[in-house]
Amino acid sequence: MKKYLLVALVTFLSMPLLWAQNDSIFIRKIFDEALERGHAYENLRQLCKDIGARLTGSAEADMAVRWGEGLLKSYGFDKMYLQEVQVPHWERGTKEAAWITDANGNRAKLDVLALGGSVGTNGLMEGEVLHVEDVAALQKFKKQDVEGKVVFISKPFDQKLLNTFQAYGACHPIRGEGTKEAGKLGAKAVVIRSLASSTDDYPHTGSLSYEEGSPRIPGAAMSTKNADLLVEWLQKGKVTLSLEMDCRHYPDKISYNVIGEMTGKDEKIISFGGHLDSWDAGEGAHDDGAGVVHSIEALRILKKLGYKPNHTLRAVLFMNEENGNRGGITYAKVASEKKEQHICAIESDRGGFLPLGFDIDGSVEQVSMVQDLKELLSGFELNRIEPGFGGVDIGPLREYYPDMVQIGLFISSQRYFDFHHSPNDVFENVNKRELELGAAAMTTIVYLMDQSLDKSESP
């Protein structure tokens, strides 16, 4: 009897090692499939080149839904369906034009983009430039000092920050809040320094916000190179800025989240995805075409390898992350109404660059559970596993499923804000191997969560 107990104990103690060995072998197969026979790069080419930029409400966004639907159907997943979403419809209109003129009559043309959701200028408008560094500095001005002027907000990225998302977060208020605050003070318009790491000629767009009952004034972003030039001119004296934008708002439209599934052994759900929409500048290659193809690849690779999931694995191509997050909000609301059991959500929305690991948004125990995988993942150079942010699209799930774990694919951020929301975000600026490594990393974390959550829930 003692002999049988000893064998049982040794078997029990060796199970974690056997699990780890099996996981490592399967992950190796995932990477081999992604790197040798992957579809991510070609799928991204189709999305960027055959569809193009996919601003919510546009014909291109509609075609992207059709593209996603057709691609998911072609892979023969267990389920494929569309989820209706009411989305905003804003258009940039004719190309923006802007100039600065100094007191001596010297003039320079600027590279500018309207901020998403901005009103137009109703023809060419002009105003003296009032220079402030950030929103906090703007709020200290009195209305008589701002009224009738064009506010220029110039806060640059803090280059000392190794994680450029932290630099972006610190500058985000100049885009998100600057136009609203300047409007309250009677400004004619706001032009900001683009939220970007490098100094170049590409302006970067992105959403602004207005406040109900307050004046809505035009908001635009200029290239970082232009911003440096304007600062230089302002140091010498008065500068006037001329701006024309033809932005327009239309009634909401019907669009769709595009969803594919592999059915699991139980009804619990692991969602993972990226957003199908993009800004209208560039092609949305890094933001977030990369996340879309990462997510499709995760489902395709697991099916190709004959994997039988414990839980339902659901790839979601979200619509309208960029200017409203209606896709993420709708997805979470419908999940709750259907009383679905969501235990994990994963997002890729940081570009097609080299994957480094994962951000974990969850309880101390959930963070620890994922960090226990670090030794296994380090063999695939996914070494960074830390508490952090999951993603905008999956965020609304937290309201209905507060106990779930959310995970963000953590990708090298050093070049992301060279391309983010700019005309430079095109297919040619995505590295094939790095994109495929991202697809492998996404597939790996989906697989490991399906395995780990199953084990952690077992009696």
Whether 1 shows a pLDDT value over 80: the answer reads no
Whether 3 shows a pLDDT value over 90: the answer reads no
Beta strands 248-262 and 312-318 are: antiparallel
Can you give 149-164 as a three-state secondary structure string? CEEEECCCCCCCCCCH
Q: Do 213 and 237 form a contact (C-beta atoms < 8 A)? A: no
Tell which residue, 191, 193, 214, 189, has the closest CA to residue 127: 189
Whether 126 shows a pLDDT value over 90: the answer reads yes
AA letter at 124:
L
AA letter at 266:
D
Whether 225 shows a pLDDT value over 60: the answer reads yes
Asked if the bond preceding 288 is cis, omega within 30° of 0, the reply is yes
Would you give the end-to-end CA distance of the chain in angstroms?
25
pLDDT higher at 43 or 5: 43
Residues 60-116 have pLDDT tens digits of: 999 999 999 999 999 999 999 999 999 999 999 999 999 999 999 999 999 999 999
Q: Percentage of the chain surpassing pLDDT 90?
A: 93
In degrees, to the nearest 5, what angle opens at C-alpha 430 toward C-alphas 46 and 345?
80
pLDDT of the residue at 384:
96
Query: Region 234-255: what's the mean pLDDT?
Result: 97
Beta strands 112-114 and 219-222 are: antiparallel
pLDDT of the residue at 21:
77
Residues 399-422 have pLDDT tens digits of: 999 999 999 999 999 999 999 999
Residues 261-286 have pLDDT tens digits of: 999 999 999 999 999 999 999 999 99
pLDDT of the residue at 455:
59
Q: Do 185 and 147 form a contact (C-beta atoms < 8 A)? A: yes
AA letter at 19:
W
Q: Percentage of the chain surpassing pLDDT 70?
A: 94
Report how far residue 149's alpha carbon sits from residue 16's, in angstroms, rounded to the nearest whole number.
66
Tell the CATH topology of 93-246.
Answer: Glucose Oxidase; domain 1 (3.50.30)
pLDDT of the residue at 334:
98
Tell which residue, 428, 437, 451, has the closest CA to residue 297: 437
Residues 155-190 have pLDDT tens digits of: 999 999 999 999 999 999 999 999 999 999 999 999
Report how far residue 277's alpha carbon sits from residue 57's, in angstroms, rounded to the nearest whole number.
9
pLDDT of the residue at 140:
97
Report how far residue 10's alpha carbon sits from residue 116's, in angstroms, rounded to the nearest whole number.
62
> What does CATH list as the number for 22-90+251-457?
3.40.630.10
Query: Region 114-137: what's the mean pLDDT?
Result: 98
Q: Do 87 and 57 form a contact (C-beta atoms < 8 A)? A: yes
Q: Do 220 and 183 form a contact (C-beta atoms < 8 A)? A: no
Residues 320-376 have pLDDT tens digits of: 999 999 999 999 999 999 999 999 999 999 999 999 999 999 999 999 999 999 999
Query: Region 198-214: what's the mean pLDDT?
Result: 96
Q: Where are the domains of the chain?
A: 22-90+251-457, 93-246
AA letter at 235:
Q
Whether 28 shows a pLDDT value over 80: the answer reads yes
Find all residues with CB under 8 Å of 434, minimum gap 6, and list them: 352, 353, 354, 355
